[in-house]
Amino acid sequence: MPTKNSPQPRRLLRDEVYDTILGAILDGTLEPGEVLHDEELMTWLGSSRTPIREALNRLAEEDVVELVPHRHTRVAPINVAAISESLFVIGVIHEHLARTTTAHLTDEHVADLRRELAHVEDAVDTADAAALGRSIRSYFLVVVRAATNSVLRAKAETLSLQLVRFLLPNENVITPQRALEFIRGITAAAEARDGERAGDLIHDLHAATRSNFLEFYREPDPTD
């Protein structure tokens, strides 16, 4: 059995590759629809093909990468209808879980939320969009993993990347600072074990995110 002084397990290379590719997608380095070539990824990441394919398969399962055998692997393109539906569903799940689990959060759960809030604050302070996306996802996964409904947990973990990917698009009126204000409010509600307040704030955050997403990708009116 490991002891306190045992060395910490090293992260698997496939997980590091996954984080790097996901970060590049979240910060726009890899754009929607961009084709991902194994050889180019191997050169960029300094990795062999196997960890890269494992990472890409995981990202495909999460609908962030589109993998079509014998044709192409690419960053998932913008499908406005599908993403809007995903944002709606993840918003409903997050709100429901907040309303039903907040009153029963343990001190450990609240400590985890405070820790993730600190990561969000750091990302906002350093203007690191990729880190902000990851930290917001990690924050909400604390709430998700506190729930007892395994079906909702699994669905929320998969769909949460859609929220992260489009939470802060360019020219979005939901600025990083505004997102941080929402998350600070949700944390305060969690500390007070106030599920209704947490649910209201999550509802407002998701509603604004979805509205801004639709506005950002709205087809221009030729009469404008």
Residue 221 has pLDDT above 60, yes or no: no
Residue 52 has pLDDT above 80, yes or no: yes
Taking 3-state DSSP, the helix, strand and coil percentages for the chain, each rounded to the nearest 5, stand at 70, 5, 30
pLDDT of residue 214: 75
The answer to which of 123-132, 150-159, 174-183, 208-217 has the lowest mean pLDDT is 208-217
Mean pLDDT is highest, among 1-5, 22-26, 71-75, 173-177, for 71-75
Residues 6+ away with beta carbon under 8 Å from 95: 199, 202, 203, 206
Residue 96 has pLDDT above 80, yes or no: yes
pLDDT of residue 182: 95
Q: Which amino acid is at 3?
A: T
Residue 169 has pLDDT above 50, yes or no: no
Q: What is the mean pLDDT of the chain?
A: 84
Confidence of residue 17 (pLDDT cuts 50, 70, 90): very high
Pair of tokens at residue 222:
């030729």
Pair of tokens at residue 158:
């998969």
Rounded mean pLDDT, 156-164: 77
User: Where do the domains of the chain lie, and which CATH numbers do they carry?
Assistant: 13-75 (1.10.10.10), 80-216 (1.20.120.530)
What is the distance between the alpha carbons of residues 199 and 202, in angstroms, rounded to a whole number? 5
**Residues 167 and 209: beta-carbon distance below 8 Å:** yes
Exposed, middle or buried: residue 221 (CB in 10 Å: 0-12, 13-18, 19+)?
Answer: exposed
What is the distance between the alpha carbons of residues 154 and 132, in angstroms, rounded to a whole number? 22
Q: What is the DSSP letter of 35?
A: B
pLDDT in tens, 20-50: 998 888 777 899 899 999 999 999 999 999 9
Residue 7 has pLDDT above 50, yes or no: no
Please give the radius of gyration of the chain, using alpha carbons only, rounded to the nearest integer.
Answer: 18
**How many of the other CB atoms lie within 10 Å of CB of 80?**
13
